[in-house]
Amino acid sequence: MAEPAKKLAKIVINERLCKGCSICIDFCPTNVLELKGSCVAVKDLEACTRCQLCDLRCPDFAIQVF
Amino acid sequence: MAQKKKLLQGNEACVEGALYAGCKFYAGYPITPSTEIAEGLSVRLPKVGGKFIQMEDEIASIAAAIGGSVAGLKSLTATSGPGFSLKQECLGYACIAEIPLVIVNVMRGGPSTGYPTGPSQADIMQAKWGTHGDHPVIAVTPSYVQEILSETVRAFNLAEKFRTPVIVLYDEIIGHMREPITIPVPGELEVIDREKVTCEADEYFPYDERYEIAPLAPFGSGYRFHVTGLNHKKDGFPTNDSKQIDANNRRIMRKIENHKEEIWKNEETFLDDAEVVVFTLGSTARSARFAVNKAREEGIKAGLLRPLTIWPFPDKAITELSKRVKAIIVPEMNLGQMTLEVERCSKKADVVGIHRVDGEPITPAQILDAIKKHK
Amino acid sequence: MSTAAPEKKEKVVQPFDYDKYLRPNKLPHIWCPGCGHGIVLKALLRAIDKTGLPKDNIVMVSGIGCSSRTPGYVDFNTMHTLHGRAMAFATGIKFARPDLKVIVVTGDGDALAIGGNHFIHACRRNIDMTVLVYTNATYGMTGGQYSPTSPIGSTATTSRYGNIEPPFDTCEMAKASGASFVARGTAYHTIELERTIYDALMHKGMSVVDIIDACPTYFGRMNKYKSATQMMEILEKDNTVNIKQADKLPPEKLQGKMLRGVLHKVDRPEYCDQYEEHVIKKATSKE
């Protein structure tokens, strides 16, 4: 990797609020998220572009990207 | 300010009473025989900066009136039998959400469309039991045009004081009857305004159980809270907790039950030595008064007990009376709604109903006959 | 946020702080996994934030149903009323206090079936309020019966042989009834929805936003959708076209699609203003 390491996003998942509907996982353009049990989890943080689509479409106030 | 004498119809007196009480919001739907109230307020309310709106139906009318009250204005809706039926769900909402409100029901013949231009007193039980679930009810029952004015004022006072809907119940006869009345000057009749909330916003609970009746802050006054028809906690939010549901259901009943003495209002005529007593309300009480006077002229010890509050039912007065009189005669323009209640409360006396559902008033002669039969 | 300045300043968009408008300790909400109502609520809160209106001046009124539980979560003056009656209650509040911003949150059954009469008359009066109709084509709270927006042929617990009733077009009805602002959005197009709701909130008069969102639990399951995502893709994304793009598309591409965006916007006298300007003025003027 020649390019300087970009600053990683911080994805905050509220496990108490997540209902595991998978909307955020399915609509993530870079495949960052996965379902673990009945809650979303980060699979590939480096791929995150901070587009915030997961937050925007999360019905449960359960995920935020900083 | 000098008192003003006016020749007014009952429904017009209701308008005067509402304005005297400080009503600033009316929502209604045209229905015989109560429409004159809407017509009158459509002219008068805007003159005092009040709001008048004719809604799309009876349900919308009471809903809008509840909305007006939540927004801080003393609110009124008026109707008659079929409209009163339609309003029942919202009436229950006002009971559980504890929203002050006055509902006038000018009783006409029923059931259903029935006899729109004819009188009846057949909504007495509907006023108590019309909406589902256990709930408190206050209903006032004037007999004279002057009294429609003063009882409308009292209804607003009770609604504000007890944070509950209050029904003004009278029949078509007095609704449309014209009598000379005196418009009271300001200060002559008591007017109770809504208690102001003064606590800090984060200390405000609309159903605070520390009070028997917590004050109601109007929407938009800086106290943001939740109102719902669901069983709720002190903060207004719904609850499934059986203890809280029980406590709240009992509290809204108790707040009326504990103050019955204050809410009751009876007119007693010749009761001291009476042996036969007539118990009746509305226009029928006018016939009864005539009959009782006639009986007295003939040497019969007759008396009249006239409730101006029919709900909560004046059970104490009936029970006490029933221990010392031979008979209680209950004339009513229905097939025995009050009679049933009097029977429930009477300990010893015979209870005799006089019922009429032909759209004609009960005459003094009918009542006098019954007095003579049971003296 | 960042301490060491990066060489190329990266623009980081901070997530929206919903807590500013949510009542504390009320979440998780009652809506099922994948239900679109939460997505709509978030768009609504972002739109409200953009208006800059103080929370004390906002009133939210709802009826009965899943969507009508919204007021319980938000920190405004909130009233959860009776099935179908939200707009009648809201009319009373707005008329009594025209200075307050009144928002009605309602479902398609609540607004168009049991509350249909109040809906058309609130539109006719053009009273200043914003009505958000969450359209999921089902009665979710009672377990998935067909609603006035269920498509013909769709299955529900009360249309096991396929729905035979044609659906309402909420926007056409609002427009025909006199609403001066009519729009449609979807939960899928959440940024567009936020803008649409903002426009509705800023409009003076009756503004209606029909919002297509998904009920995966009932409508989805009974109509063989695989997931909430699939419902969003088919019913919200593929089945709708923004009105601005629609002009450029051939008619065959618009076949069966619903239009999104602001569909109707006119200036019409508003009810409370009219009352003040005509009724109060005439009643109080010395003849």
Digit-coded pLDDT (tens) for C13-66: 789 999 999 999 999 999 999 999 999 999 999 999 999 999 999 999 999 999
Instruction: Examine chains A and B and say if they touch (3+ CB pairs below 8 A).
Output: no
Cβ neighbors of C191 (< 8 A, separation 6 or more) are A56, C43
Residue of A3, A23, A38 to mutate, testing the C interface (most C Cβ within 10 Å of its Cβ): A23
The answer to whether A14 touches A24, Cβ cutoff 8 Å, is no
Quote the minimal CA–CA distance from C153 to chain B in Å.
33
Residue C12 pLDDT exceeds 90: no
Q: In this complex, which of A4, A23, A61 lies closest to C228 when CB atoms are compared?
A: A23
Pairwise CA distance, residues C237 & B36, whole Å: 54
Question: Is any Cβ of chain B less than 8 angstroms from the Cβ of C90?
Answer: yes
Partner chains of C (3+ C-beta pairs under 8 Å): A, B
Q: Is residue C258 part of a domain?
A: yes
pLDDT number for residue C2: 45
The per-residue pLDDT for range C184-221, each reduced to its tens digit, is 999 999 999 999 999 999 999 999 999 999 999 999 99
- The top-level CATH class assigned to A11-65 is alpha beta
Question: Is any Cβ of chain B less than 8 angstroms from the Cβ of C26?
Answer: yes
Helices (H), C97-157: 108-109, 116-125
Q: Please, is C225 exposed, middle or buried when counting C-beta atoms within 10 Å of its C-beta (0-12, 13-18, 19+)?
A: buried
Note whether B165 and B271 are same-domain residues: no
% of chain C residues with pLDDT over 90: 94
Q: Is residue C2 part of a domain?
A: no
Note whether B20 and B154 are same-domain residues: yes
Q: Is residue C16 part of a domain?
A: no
Domains in chain B, number: 2
Three-class SS of chain B: CCCEEEEEEHHHHHHHHHHHHCCCEEEECCCCCCHHHHHHHHHHHHHCCCEEEECCCHHHHHHHHHHHHHCCCCEEEEECHHHHHHCHHHHHHHHHHCCCEEEEEEEEECCCCCEEEEECCCCHHHHHHCCCCCCCCEEECCCCHHHHHHHHHHHHHHHHHHCCEEEEEEEHHHHHCEEEEEECCCCCCCCCCCCCCCCCHHHCCCCCCCCCCCCCCCCCCCCCCEEECCCECCCCCECCCHHHHHHHHHHHHHHHHCCHHHHCCEEEECCCCCCEEEECCHHHHHHHHHHHHHHHHCCCCEEEEEECEEECCCHHHHHHHHCCCCEEEEEECCCCHHHHHHHHHCCCCEEEEEECCCCCCCCHHHHHHHHHHCC
Write b or e for each residue in C180-197: b if 16 or more Cβ atoms lie within 10 A of its Cβ, otherwise e.
Answer: bbbbbbbbbbbeebbbbb
pLDDT bin (cut points 50, 70, 90) of residue A7 is: confident
State the residue range of the domain holding C238.
32-284
Is A57 close to C39, i.e. CB distance below 8 A?
A: yes
Which residues in chain B have their CB less than 8 angstroms from residue C275's CB?
46, 51
Where does a domain end: B149, B183, B217? B183
Helices (H), chain C: 37-51, 86-96, 108-109, 116-125, 170-177, 190-202, 221-222, 228-231, 243-246, 251-254, 271-274, 281-284
Where does a domain end: B131, B163, B183? B183
Quote the minimal CA–CA distance from B253 to chain C in Å.
21
Which residues in chain B have their CB less than 8 angstroms from residue C71's CB?
226
The predicted model gives C123-147 an average pLDDT of 97
Which residues in chain A have their CB less than 8 angstroms from residue C38's CB?
58-61
Q: Is residue B63 part of a domain?
A: yes
Residue of B86, B90, B93, B226 to mutate, testing the C interface (most C Cβ within 10 Å of its Cβ): B226
% of chain C residues with pLDDT over 70: 95
Chain B positions touching chain C (beta carbons under 8 Å): 24-25, 27, 43, 46-47, 49, 51-53, 55-57, 59-61, 63-73, 75, 89-90, 93, 218-222, 224-230, 237-238
Q: Is residue C98 part of a domain?
A: yes
Quote the minimal CA–CA distance from B294 to chain C in Å.
49
* pTM, 2 dp: 0.96
Is C12 close to A66, i.e. CB distance below 8 A?
A: yes
B321: amino acid identity, one letter: L
The enclosing domain of B292 has a CATH number of 3.40.50.920
Pairwise CA distance, residues C268 & B318, whole Å: 60
Tokens standing for residue B257? 């039950």
The enclosing domain of C111 has a CATH number of 3.40.50.970
| Coil, strand or helix at B284 | helix
pLDDT number for residue C1: 45
Residue C159 pLDDT exceeds 60: yes
Residue C73 pLDDT exceeds 70: yes
State the residue range of the domain holding B320.
267-373
Q: Please, is B261 exposed, middle or buried when counting C-beta atoms within 10 Å of its C-beta (0-12, 13-18, 19+)?
A: exposed
Note whether B293 and B166 are same-domain residues: no
pLDDT along chain B (375 residues), means of 10: 88 98 98 98 98 98 98 98 98 98 97 95 98 97 98 98 98 98 97 96 94 95 97 96 95 96 98 98 98 98 98 98 97 98 96 97 98 95
Note whether B167 and B272 are same-domain residues: no
